[in-house]
Structure 1
Amino acid sequence: MMVEKIVDAFKDRFGAEPVIFRAPGRVNLIGEHTDYNDGFVMPAAIDRYVYFAIKPNGQNVYRFHAFDLNKSFTTTTDLISPSKSRWANYLLGVISQMVGYGKDIPGFDCVFGGNVPIGAGLSSSAAIESGLAFALNHIFSLGFTPMQLALIGQKAEHEYAGVKCGIMDQFASLHGKKNHVLKLDCRSLEFEPFELRTDNFSIILVNTGVKHSLASSKYNIRRNECQVGVDILKKYNANISSLRDVSLDVLNEHKSEFDKKVWDRCSYVVEENLRVKQAGEALQNKDFQLFGRLLYQSHYGLKEKYEVSCPELDKLVDITEPLDYVLGSRMMGGGFGGCTINLVRNTHIDQFIEQVKLHYKTPQGNTPDIITCVIANGAELFS
């Protein structure tokens, strides 16, 4: 239905038959706030999408319409710069990066919209960037690889949206593989798929109802705090360029030189990288109990050391603790709101939902949105 609405909106607005693309949102099973520290993450694309109806218009103009917002934006092809229309910056940033690579991006019309919740930690912004990048690459035969498209989306987020994000979100939206999570080395950009079939348990998201905005949150502050720690340790080893290069032993050796907050931030990141590696081993061995325990450990690190959780996220995780049919639970995404991610045995999904609804209401007093995810493929031509 969503696709049909977007196509109809395109035809009504531009009087032409578009080509349809889609790009998924993502979940991150484990490895939070490690990507911009050159660490490891373990995301997967999910069956929530942003759809794009696109067609070249033969004019020197870009015309965008955000279906979900019912807002439009137009600019000429020779005038690409950040706009006061924040939503348009995700698109303009992608075009700007491609032009920076020396590519000619002719005028086109675009209507986009979808069912990736905004502000829930499912990377709706990355789905927009990745979907447009994939579509333009296809339509204009630009020759970019999927990883290059991910880097284009990341730089668009940096320069046009003002969020110094890592590569994970755009990577997952473009490289997703059905029934697999992807362990990504955010430094080398090498990745390894691990099979994660949901025959016996499901990935279920619970939305706190608290929306976050990374650009205006403490995200960039956390990034700077990590850099402070790196700068301290660099004095002893010039080869340390990020927390990826730091072991717990080295960190503990110099603990007295750290402000407590900075040490907490850095120790969390180093520990989280170790958890991602352990999570990969657990999946290889089909040890889902261990995998679930690592999710809980990740949450408490994010809550106590990285301080990016919030009371609503903590409440949702606390609800799961006594439930033996929940293998693991944690906050997911940048923090300060959004969703928890839960591994729940398929035999008890109804009980899980019942418990959540019984014990949690959003700040607005509503029953939270509960989303069961299917692990899906990455950006693709839809029709």
Structure 2
Amino acid sequence: MTKEQVIKIFKEKFNNENPEVYTSPGRVNLIGEHTDYNGSFVFPGAIDKGMIAAIRFNGTDKIRAYAIDLDESSEFGLIEEDAPNEGWAKYLFGVCREIIKRGGTVKAFDTVFAGDVPLGAGMSSSAALESTYAFALNDLLNLGIDKFELARIGQSTEHNYVGVKCGIMDQFASIFGKEGHLIRLDTKTMEYEYFPFNPKGYKLVLLDTLVKHELASSAYNARRASCENTAATISKLHPEVKFLRDASMDMLNEVKDQISEEDYMRSKYVIEETQRVIDVSNALQQGDYETVGQKMYETHHGMSKLYEVSCEELDFLNDIAKEHGVTGSRVMGGGFGGCTINLVKDELYDSFIADAKKQFKEKYGHEPKVYDVVISDGARKL
């Protein structure tokens, strides 16, 4: 949806007043999966799909919000007892409350918003929504909140008002995104670095299985526990190891007989994935996208066979990518459904997509959705 369309809808809803317009993107993660809670690296980039919001202060004590895509309205105040019932409105309310908790003054406003980040496809539509409003209020009210704190406001909104104990990556990517660059974020130190991502002659495309298997949340907790157990076991011999990212394969093999086979497999994946992120960083600096692709396949294999968070549909799409000579392909996100992210040479693109759709439909009864993505800028005023 364009800036002009959003302004038009705002004016229809709220007496022809002129609003300010802000946007924030969704994100992809090229590599570094299930590494954030292990104190390791993630490698996200903001994409050319996101949320767009028109906003204007209204001089009352109530926020009046309209979700264009859902055709739903919500009205709520700014104190804790005023929490709205609508799920989507909790994100706006949470951002306001988190700013207030940090000593910021928030004034009530009218707003409409829309998005083109597909819901449930692992591109983080919720972080895009939080970042849009955190960035907008900070800008409009001159609150002077730094970008890291804006990302944390989004994360705290998820924790305290939505009930999702997410890491910082999604909000970080949405706020810090930079066109033509991926961001390597060290989740232990919060240091970050931009790496050029200009794959001339390649496309970055997501294939969405449109399935979500029920295992996701309980399996996530079990894997997190596996990793923490291994790190604790290693740290008895090596006190410097606080997270799995601090451990080497040699250290893991030292304690192999003290942990379960399952914990060993999970930990092997994380230690190898940490190294893969470093390898991809080096490859990107050389413009070596073939190595990037090879590491993506290795990640998929690790997530499927060692971490066991893939599923039949994702493995099927990964196999088709291999058969077509696609440069890189892997499951993106937590797993158990969602998307594969694929780095595809331009000349292979049409035949790969056509064949993936056809074969997937024959096997599962529906086509995967296809999203081409371009690495773009983070939160901003339009």
Gap regions ≥5 residues in structure 2: none
Work out the CA distance in 2 between the residues paired with 1:5 and 1:333. 32
Larger deviation, residues 288-297 vs 67-76: 67-76
Work out the CA distance in 1 between the residues paired with 2:112 and 2:219. 32
- Which residue of 2 is the match for residue 356 of structure 1? 356
Work out the CA distance in 1 between the residues paired with 2:76 and 2:214. 26
- Which residue of 2 is the match for residue 276 of structure 1? 277
Work out whether 1:183 is the aligned partner of 2:184. Answer: yes
1:79-90 equivalences under 5 Å are 79=80, 84-90=85-91
Residue identity opposite 1:370 in structure 2:
V
Residue identity opposite 1:297 in structure 2:
E
Work out the CA distance in 2 between the residues paired with 1:147 and 1:348. 39
Residue identity opposite 2:128 in structure 1:
A
Cα–Cα, structure 1 residues 368 and 57, in superposed 2: closer, same or farther, change >3 Å? same
Work out the CA distance in 1 between the residues paired with 2:23 and 2:214. 23
Q: Among the aligned pairs, what percent are the same residue?
A: 45
- Which residue of 1 is the match for residue 32 of structure 2? 31
Structure 1 contact 10–53 (Cα < 8 Å) conserved: yes
Structure 2 contact 216–336 (Cα < 8 Å) conserved: no
| Deviation of the 1:241 alpha carbon | 2.2
- Which residue of 2 is the match for residue 336 of structure 1? 336
Residue identity opposite 1:55 in structure 2:
R
Work out the CA distance in 1 between the residues paired with 2:68 and 2:87. 15
Structure 1 contact 120–211 (Cα < 8 Å) conserved: no
Residue identity opposite 1:371 in structure 2:
Y
- Which residue of 1 is the match for residue 249 of structure 2? 248
- Which residue of 2 is the match for residue 96 of structure 1? 97
Structure 1 contact 164–220 (Cα < 8 Å) conserved: no
| Deviation of the 1:213 alpha carbon | 8.5
Larger deviation, residues 204-213 vs 286-295: 204-213
- Which residue of 1 is the match for residue 117 of structure 2? 116
- Which residue of 2 is the match for residue 11 of structure 1? 11
Say which SS state the counterpart of residue 69 (structure 1) adopts: coil
Residue identity opposite 1:51 in structure 2:
I
Larger deviation, residues 138-147 vs 228-237: 228-237
1:1-383 equivalences under 5 Å are 1-15=1-15, 16-79=17-80, 84-211=85-212, 216=217, 218-324=219-325, 326-361=326-361, 365-382=365-382
Cα–Cα, structure 1 residues 230 and 155, in superposed 2: closer, same or farther, change >3 Å? farther
Structure 2 contact 131–171 (Cα < 8 Å) conserved: yes
Say which SS state the counterpart of residue 102 (structure 1) adopts: coil
Work out the CA distance in 1 between the residues paired with 2:215 and 2:64. 27
The TM-score normalised by the length of structure 1 is 0.93
Cα–Cα, structure 1 residues 51 and 177, in superposed 2: closer, same or farther, change >3 Å? same
Work out the CA distance in 1 between the residues paired with 2:145 and 2:213. 32
Deviations 1:123-145 (A, max 9, x none): 11111111111111111111111
Structure 2 contact 216–334 (Cα < 8 Å) conserved: no
Say which SS state the counterpart of residue 337 (structure 2) adopts: coil
Work out the CA distance in 2 between the residues paired with 1:135 and 1:167. 19
Residue identity opposite 2:168 in structure 1:
I
* Count of aligned pairs: 381
| Deviation of the 1:315 alpha carbon | 0.9
Residue identity opposite 1:100 in structure 2:
K
Say which SS state the counterpart of residue 361 (structure 1) adopts: helix
Structure 2 contact 76–83 (Cα < 8 Å) conserved: no
Structure 1 contact 119–213 (Cα < 8 Å) conserved: no
Structure 2 contact 206–370 (Cα < 8 Å) conserved: yes
Structure 2 contact 76–82 (Cα < 8 Å) conserved: no
Work out the CA distance in 1 between the residues paired with 2:127 and 2:215. 13
| Deviation of the 1:225 alpha carbon | 3.1
Work out the CA distance in 2 between the residues paired with 1:237 and 1:155. 33
Gap regions ≥5 residues in structure 1: none
- How well do the aligned residues superpose, as a CA RMSD in angstroms? 2.1
Cα–Cα, structure 1 residues 132 and 217, in superposed 2: closer, same or farther, change >3 Å? farther
Deviations 1:15-58 (A, max 9, x none): 22221111111111100111122210111111001111111111
The TM-score normalised by the length of structure 2 is 0.93
| Deviation of the 1:207 alpha carbon | 0.9
Structure 1 contact 2–114 (Cα < 8 Å) conserved: no
Deviations 1:360-379 (A, max 9, x none): 12997332221111110111
Work out the CA distance in 1 between the residues paired with 2:236 and 2:82. 40
Residue identity opposite 1:311 in structure 2:
E
Cα–Cα, structure 1 residues 83 and 38, in superposed 2: closer, same or farther, change >3 Å? farther
Work out the CA distance in 1 between the residues paired with 2:81 and 2:150. 19
Structure 2 contact 324–348 (Cα < 8 Å) conserved: no
Cα–Cα, structure 1 residues 222 and 65, in superposed 2: closer, same or farther, change >3 Å? farther
Structure 1 contact 212–338 (Cα < 8 Å) conserved: no
Structure 1 contact 45–375 (Cα < 8 Å) conserved: yes
